[in-house]
Amino acid sequence: QKEVEQNSGPLSVPEGAIASLNCTYSDRGSQSFFWYRQYSGKSPELIMFIYSNGDKEDGRFTAQLNKASQYVSLLIRDSQPSDSATYLCAVNGGTGFQKLVFGTGTRLLVSP
Amino acid sequence: DAGVTQSPTHLIKTRGQQVTLRCSPKSGHDTVSWYQQALGQGPQFIFQYYEEEERQRGNFPDRFSGHQFPNYSSELNVNALLLGDSALYLCASSLYSGAPSRTEAFFGQGTRLTVV
């Protein structure tokens, strides 16, 4: 079983819709969870992170965490074509120091 | 405020050669982590440096080594290059806080290494 699992997609949504990206993880001891956006050929860009159960909102982005179900998601409201990218879920697997364990990413396509 | 910078951006090497990649962390950051990202995969943790010492290491062979300098910049060295080492090498910098769950890591633009 992979440590961090994501559907590779592509997830296709029309402009203005809500995109929902999901991620599951295997280590119950994981404490924090990160979402990165990566455009083709570029490096990952941090969108937001969450460490408490529930929702965390930042602009058009909402991260949701359910530790009991070992599930984290990212909602993108009012999706724009510029949101088309690969979204990487990462889990902090380190103790003392941060060590990010990434999923393979979900490719999102937002059509005008 | 300069972000994380890496050099070079692209590199082509021959099998068996050695390569050195460089990273300057974001201003104010003191911790550098290196990741390898193969095409179509998520980044994989190689190792991390803090106070000039390797603090954590991922599942990579000893051919991968590194160093951190007093100014917090870092180098990644790979010896005896294999075709499978072709990947995007990413440097991430962060500020050590003792609370890894609250630490934000920011990536540089990466070095694209091609081994032929």
* Contact criterion met (CB < 8 Å) for B43 and A102: yes
Find, among A15, A21, A4, the residue nearest to A86 by Cα. A21
Query: Which residues of chain A are within 8 Å of residue B31 when distances are taken between CB atoms?
Result: 97-98
- What per-residue confidence (pLDDT) applies to B100? 64
In this prediction, residues A61-83 reach a mean pLDDT of 97
* Spatial CA neighbour of B36 closest among B100, B94, B84, B97: B84
In the predicted structure, residue A97 carries a pLDDT above the cut 90? no
Nearest to A97 among B56, B104, B109 (CB): B56
- CA distance to partner chain B, nearest, from residue A67 (Å): 14
Asked whether the beta carbons of residue B88 and residue A101 sit closer than 8 angstroms, the reply is: no
| pLDDT at position B101 over 70 | no
Mean pLDDT of A84-95: 89
The per-residue pLDDT for range B49-89, each reduced to its tens digit, is 999 999 999 999 999 999 999 999 999 999 999 999 999 99
Searching chain B, which residue's CA lies closest to the CA of residue A104?
B42
Q: What is the pLDDT of residues A13-31, one digit of tens each?
A: 999 999 999 999 999 888 8
Residue A101 has pLDDT above 90, yes or no: yes
Please check whether residue B109 touches A, CB under 8 A.
Answer: yes
pLDDT band at B14 (very low <50, low <70, confident <90, very high): very high
